[in-house]
Chain A
Amino acid sequence: MVVNYQSIFQHCAAAFLLFWGGGLIAQETLQVVTQNYQESIPFGLGTEVSIEGEKADVYLSSWDRNQVAVYLDLSSAHQDRRVAEQDLERMQHTMIQEGSKIIVRNYISKPEGGERPESMLKAKYTIILPANCPVNLSNFFGSADVRDLQNAVVINSEFCQLDLLNLRGQISISTRFGDINGRQIAGNVQIFSNRSNINLSEIQGVVNIKSRYGRIELDAQPENLDLAIDAVRTDIVFNEPPVGYYSFLLRTQNGEIITPKEMNFQVRQLSADTQEALYNPGTTESEVKIHTTFGNIVIGPPLSN
């Protein structure tokens, strides 16, 4: 068989040009008009911050000043700058203080029977506040990056990606069609998720998760964990469990339980469609309880000491 290297090279070159050229042709330039608002509000004992976002990317973090700093960008992108400017006028916002509550909100003035905006509209919040400031965030469409808070965090979101880092205290999260990625989450944690995947690592404290349609993957610190997961049509994976730090009670209906041989789980078939697995090292009161239906439970290989 004679290999025609020249022909192969020509085909590769043509494919490369087609791919690269196609990519270049497909690009288009949009004019972006951004209206920026900044406000700094003194923080006092009892002050709490409420953010009500729509199509917003929210970044929330803390600092060591007694000030709440709010930076809000409302932006509009379109091929035609004048159209972008006109559509930007539909984006509204409020920053008000009602008693001890600071309320920040953005929304779109919806036309009644009028023309829809042609531009891509978006809000972007950067909010920096004292770590002990309670926060209440709701966001529909967009994303939220919340980190370094130590008091109370309540998040209510739909179609919103949540990234959480270093949160302590009372944490309550409700999400629909929005995945959660969390690391170093500790305290009294409640999560209600619907059609969302959850990925948590280095969790501590009392953690309760209720989930419908999704996948939960987590790992934990080797101490102080009481975890309860009650799920429907959700697969659950617990990675690298530290042996001897907590007991496990696992149950699935119409699913499968997979456990590592090293931990020697007691597996029982409770009924034709229900399986249970127990593990108790007898050295701890910390407990991991997982219950799911139409989903599998996988306990990964244990953390090597």
Chain B
Amino acid sequence: MRALRELPEYEPPDGLWDELGQRLARERAEAPLRRAIRELPDHYPPAALWENLHVQLDRDQSERTLRQAIAELPSHHPPAELWEDIAAGLPPAEDTSSPRPRVIALWQRPALAAGITALLCALAWWTFTPGLGKRASISYSTIEVVPLGTDQDDQEMRRDEEAFELVLGELAVHPLLGEDPEIQMLKEELVELDAAREQLQTAISHYGRDAEMEQRMTRIEHERGAVLLAMIAKI
């Protein structure tokens, strides 16, 4: 108890109570405003708004692309003879005195420029945008490939075909195998494979020769080879 009595006494600064009073008065005055803000209803944007914003952004992007394309449009000048031809085709002027240069009023120039720009924009938009939701572009790149096919391959193929002709010729004159049902079936199979081979060759002539086409041709050749071996086995 003695220790407590001996503790020093402190008084708050003189202006503190006044300051506290002022702050409380200010908060009392602001309370209705804060309550009103809290009670304000929530509003959310309609879902379509985001979609519209997205479309608007896309349009801005398209316009930028369009402006860039217009800036890169080449300028073309007609050949000098064209003006002479046009002049020759015109009826002779009644007034032989020197023509008065046409004067475009100063106020007309911005309007004229705006009109031309609008026309160019419309033309470019029509040219570069074939339809809503459509885009077209061109790109360039390189690939590394292993060259396919040589003259030697073609020579080997010719030799293979001679073997087929030889076997088929042999079967045609064979006294027993001419009507053999299995030989008939093998011949039909060969006709089917030959047709597929021709179809593939036509496609190669239209679309070029690539690894995929070569693989397919190789598979057909293997199957033709198997048919040939089966025929030889019968002989």
Q: Does A264 contact B (CB under 8 A)?
A: no
The CA-CA distance from A141 to B196 in the complex, in Å, is 12
A122 to B147 alpha-carbon distance, docked (Å)? 17
Q: Is the CB of B145 within 8 A of A27?
A: yes
B140 contacts which chain A residues (CB < 8 A)?
Answer: 31-34, 81
Q: Is the interface of A mostly helix, strand, loop or mixed?
A: strand
Least CB separation from B139: chain A residue: A34
In-complex Cβ contact of B141 among A28, A34, A35 (8 A): A34
Q: How far is the CB of A30 from chain B (nearest CB, A)?
A: 5
The answer to the question of B14 belonging to the interface, with a C-beta cut-off of 8 Å to chain A, is no
Summarize B's interface: helix, strand, loop or mixed: mixed
Q: Which of A40, A119, A177 has the most CB of B within 10 A?
A: A177
Q: Which of A32, A40, A141, A195 contacts B207 (CB 8 A)?
A: A141
Number of interface residues of B (CB under 8 A): 32
A38 beta carbon closer than 8 Å to chain B:
yes
Among A34, A36, A119, A120: residue with most chain B CB under 10 A: A120
Instruction: Report whether B133 and A120 are in contact in the complex, using a CB–CB cutoff of 8 Å.
Output: no
User: Using a CB-CB cutoff of 8 Å, which residues 115-134 of chain B contact chain A?
Assistant: 133-134
A29 to B136, CA, bound (A): 26
- Is there an interface contact between B207 and A121, defined as CB atoms closer than 8 Å? yes
Number of contacts between A and B (CB, 8 Å)? 97
Which of A10-18, A110-118, A124-132, A217-225 is found at the contact surface with chain B? Answer: A110-118
| Bound-complex Cα distance A140 to B196 (A) | 12
What range describes how many residues of A lie at the interface? 35 or more
Q: Find out whether the CB atom of A110 lies under 8 angstroms from the CB atom of B146.
A: no
Known contacts A27-B144, A177-B196: does B133 contact A41 (CB below 8 Å)? yes
Chain B residue numbers with a CB within 8 Å of A33 are: 138-140
B-side contacts of A229, CB under 8 Å:
none
A158: min CB distance to chain B, Å: 8
Q: A259 vs B207: C-alpha distance in the bound complex, in angstroms? A: 46
A119 to B207 CA separation, bound complex (whole angstroms)? 7
Contact of B157 with A by CB under 8 A: no
Q: In the assembled complex, how far is the CB of residue A88 from the closest CB belonging to chain B, in whole angstroms?
A: 9
A26 within 8 A of B: yes
Cβ–Cβ contact B134 & A39, under 8 A: yes
B143 within 8 A of partner (CB): yes
* Residue-wise interface mask of B (209-227) relative to A, using a CB-CB cutoff of 8 A (1 in contact, 0 not): 1101100100110010000
Q: Does A63 contact B (CB under 8 A)?
A: no
Listed stretches B29-37, B64-72, B198-206; interface member: B198-206
CB of B77 within 8 A of chain A?
no
B interface vs A, CB < 8 Å?
133-147, 189, 196, 199-200, 203, 205-210, 212-213, 216, 219-220, 223
Top 9 A-B pairs ranked by shortest CB distance? A120-B208, A38-B135, A40-B133, A55-B207, A121-B207, A32-B141, A120-B210, A39-B134, A36-B137
